[in-house]
């Protein structure tokens, strides 16, 4: 009997989940089980996070992979300390503004969008600093899934088909080159048809995207993961895999070189935070745009919300807060050392109060202020000792750049697309600089104790999703599952917003009256996909997983 695996005729309700000794929450059941397997073997929350992350790189190649970037927030209970890891990569030495002369914006595909990948270094560094098991043990579930095959889940199949169509359209564009500028764009994006050949060879079945329920295998990926595990990722940055990346880049006129990979190290950073109604909300500092969440919360602190969550006035105020926060982060956020304003200035509460005064009864077009004063796949894990990890990793746009290193299963991300070509912009492209980054893990503390980890994936929806989940938890006293299930909105640009079709009927009309250009959407895959694990006051953990993806919580 055949089933319509993409059908969602009736709404399903998920109950909040409780765990006694530990939990793994993520967007793919196979990855959640991989993390649970590690917990049962005696690994800690960090080991489980590495195992889950590596498995996601295999089972959700549409969102992340070995050639992407990562961030982590790690709570170590014995130290009562939150650590931050920035494993995003920088621009190669040859990635200068002059290299893109003739273009108005950075390319989406091809080597021109590829910065140094950080994911393998994140796995190795997390394991080295906090892990109890070996890196090989942690990567073994992912290796087995790559070698023996895994089930392709419905949302992954949908995104896979989108990428297949996207790269197929690229091939058609190459055939239709007419002007020198078009030729220049294609040369920087793709060079020629052969650069996409390896993607079609590696990530298709009989030259087609796999369907939901299909089994997909990638022996090349399994061998690469084994090499990363055995060498603690040294092969990727300073060995054989680095040589392969260098060779492929040179073949197609790319910018990344082995010397760039050799230079790269992940960075341990001090998390940034703001206090929102008694809770410390923690994020990775720029170049990530987690600061957008904190700025929006600071502005919201200056406003009054209705007790009932789903009112036109509440949603209007929250949208306006997010618009103003985004206006600033999009202008100023880049590599922290290259920002023209400081984090402290952007998070200054006096500045937030000044921004809040711009919010009126009608929607406004957001403009950046001047904050001078005297921002994928997500997972979270926990263990019996109280350690917790909030981890996010991404190829940025689905599979990323479309560039696959032959015989490795490595799809390189396109994070360089986020750079600006405006020489006066803080985020202008330049060698060894990290671009504005959209992936943001979140963490909540109170009185120097861990409350829990949370995150919402989805590019520029991430701060908006986090903002809504946090207000659901703190302002409207929802449990983790309710906080994720609640209908969402998304600011797109200017006056344009999207709201989910399960919001109350009066919301759309009410927001239109306030000047918003409202689109009601039924396809929720782009409205954020989150996970939450919080400490339960009675011991253990209370968890929620996203209804908008193939989410799963594995409990121990």
DSSP 161-197: HHHHHHHHHHHHHHHT--SHHHHHHHHHHTSSTHHHH
From the list 98, 100, 103, 69, the residue with the least C-alpha distance to 86 is: 69
Phi and psi dihedrals of 212, rounded to 5?
-60, 135
Q: Which residue do the tokens 């990979």 mark?
A: 261
Question: What DSSP element (H or E) covers 114?
Answer: none
Closest of 354, 389, 359, 387 to residue 373, by C-alpha? 354
Letter string b/e over residues 262-280, b meaning 16 or more CB atoms within 10 A of that residue's CB: eebebbebebbbbebeebb
Domain ranges of the chain: 17-71+79-266+401-418, 268-365+373-377+440-548
Residue 30 to residues 15, 58, 534, 554, Cα–Cα distance (Å) = 20, 10, 22, 10
Question: Cα separation of 213 and 130, whole Å?
Answer: 36
Query: Left if phi > 0, otherwise alpha if psi is -120 to 50, otherwise beta: which for 25?
Result: beta
Output the tens digit of pLDDT for each of the chain's 556 residues.
344 444 444 455 788 899 999 999 999 999 999 999 999 999 999 999 999 999 999 999 999 999 999 999 999 999 999 999 999 999 999 999 999 988 888 998 899 999 999 999 999 999 999 999 999 999 999 999 999 999 999 999 999 999 999 889 888 877 776 565 555 555 455 556 788 999 999 999 999 999 999 999 999 999 999 999 999 999 999 999 999 999 999 999 899 999 999 999 999 999 999 999 999 999 999 999 999 999 999 999 999 998 887 899 999 999 999 999 999 998 999 999 999 999 999 999 999 999 999 999 999 887 755 554 433 889 999 999 999 999 999 999 999 999 999 999 999 999 999 999 999 999 999 999 999 998 899 999 999 999 999 999 877 889 999 999 999 999 999 999 999 999 999 999 889 999 999 898 899 999 999 999 999 998 877 888 899 999 998 899 999 998 888 888 999 8
221 has which bridge partners?
none
Say how far apart CA 501 and CA 367 lie, in whole Å: 29
Distance CA 161, CA 330 (A): 30
Beta-carbon count within 10 A of 423 CB: 9
Q: How far apart are CA 159 and CA 411, in angstroms?
A: 15
DSSP calls for 456-500: EESGGGHHHHHHHHHHHHHTS---HHHHHHS--EEEEETTEEEEE
How far apart, in whole angstroms, are the C-alpha atoms of residue 130 and residue 108?
A: 36
Q: Top-level CATH class of 268-365+373-377+440-548?
A: mainly alpha
């Amino acid at each position: 009997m055949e089933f319509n695996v993409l059908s969602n005729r009736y709404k399903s309700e998920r109950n909040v989940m409780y765990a006694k000794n530990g939990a793994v929450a993520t967007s793919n059941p196979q990855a959640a089980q991989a993390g649970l397997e590690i917990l049962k073997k005696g690994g800690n929350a960090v080991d489980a996070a590495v195992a889950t992350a590596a498995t996601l790189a295999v089972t959700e190649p549409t969102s992340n992979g070995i050639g992407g970037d990562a961030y982590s927030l790690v709570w170590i209970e014995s130290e009562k300390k939150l650590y931050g890891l920035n494993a995003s990569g920088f621009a190669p030495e040859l990635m200068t503004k002059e290299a893109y002369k003739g273009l108005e914006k950075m390319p989406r595909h091809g080597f021109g969008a590829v910065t140094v990948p950080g994911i393998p270094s994140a796995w190795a560094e997390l394991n080295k600093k906090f892990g109890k098991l070996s890196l090989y043990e942690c990567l073994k579930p992912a290796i087995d899934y790559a070698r023996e095959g895994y089930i392709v889940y419905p949302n992954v199949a949908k995104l896979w088909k989108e990428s297949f169509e996207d790269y197929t359209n690229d091939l058609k564009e190459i055939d239709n080159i007419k002007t020198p500028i078009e030729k220049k764009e294609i040369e920087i994006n793709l060079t020629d048809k052969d650069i996409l050949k390896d993607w079609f060879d590696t990530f298709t079945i009989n030259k087609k995207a796999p369907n939901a329920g299909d089994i997909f295998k990638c022996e090349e990926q399994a061998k690469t993961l084994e090499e990363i595990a055995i060498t603690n990722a040294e092969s990727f940055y300073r060995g054989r895999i680095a040589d392969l990346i260098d060779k492929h880049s040179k073949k197609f006129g790319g910018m990344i070189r082995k010397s760039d990979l050799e230079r790269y190290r992940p960075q341990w950073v001090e998390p940034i935070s703001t206090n929102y109604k008694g809770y410390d909300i923690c994020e990775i500092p720029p170049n990530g745009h987690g600061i957008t969440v904190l700025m929006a919360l600071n502005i919201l602190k200056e406003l009054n919300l209705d007790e009932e969550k789903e009112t036109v006035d509440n949603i209007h105020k929250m949208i306006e807060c997010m618009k103003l926060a985004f206006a600033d982060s999009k202008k100023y956020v880049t590599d922290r050392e290259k920002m023209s304003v400081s984090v402290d200035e952007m998070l200054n509460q006096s500045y937030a109060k000044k921004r809040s005064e711009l919010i009126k009864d009608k929607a406004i077009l957001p403009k950046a202020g001047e904050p001078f004063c005297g921002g994928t796949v997500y997972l979270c894990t926990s263990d019996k000792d109280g350690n917790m990890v909030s981890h996010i990793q991404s190829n940025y746009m689905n599979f990323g750049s479309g560039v696959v290193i032959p015989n490795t299963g490595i799809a390189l991300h396109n994070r360089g697309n986020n750079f600006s070509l405006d020489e006066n912009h803080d985020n202008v492209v330049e060698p060894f600089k990290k671009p504005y980054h959209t992936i943001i893990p979140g963490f909540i503390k109170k009185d120097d104790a861990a409350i829990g980890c949370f995150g919402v994936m989805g590019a520029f929806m991430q701060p908006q999703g986090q903002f809504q989940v946090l207000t659901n938890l703190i302002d409207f006293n929802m449990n983790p599952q309710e906080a994720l299930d609640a209908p969402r909105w998304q600011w797109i640009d200017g006056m344009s917003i999207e709201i989910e079709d399960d919001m109350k009927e009066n919301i759309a009309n009410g927001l239109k009256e306030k000047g918003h250009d409202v689109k009601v959407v039924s396809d929720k895959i782009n409205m954020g996909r989150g996970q939450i694990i919080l400490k339960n006051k009675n011991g253990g953990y209370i968890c929620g997983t996203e209804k908008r993806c193939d989410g799963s919580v594995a409990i121990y």
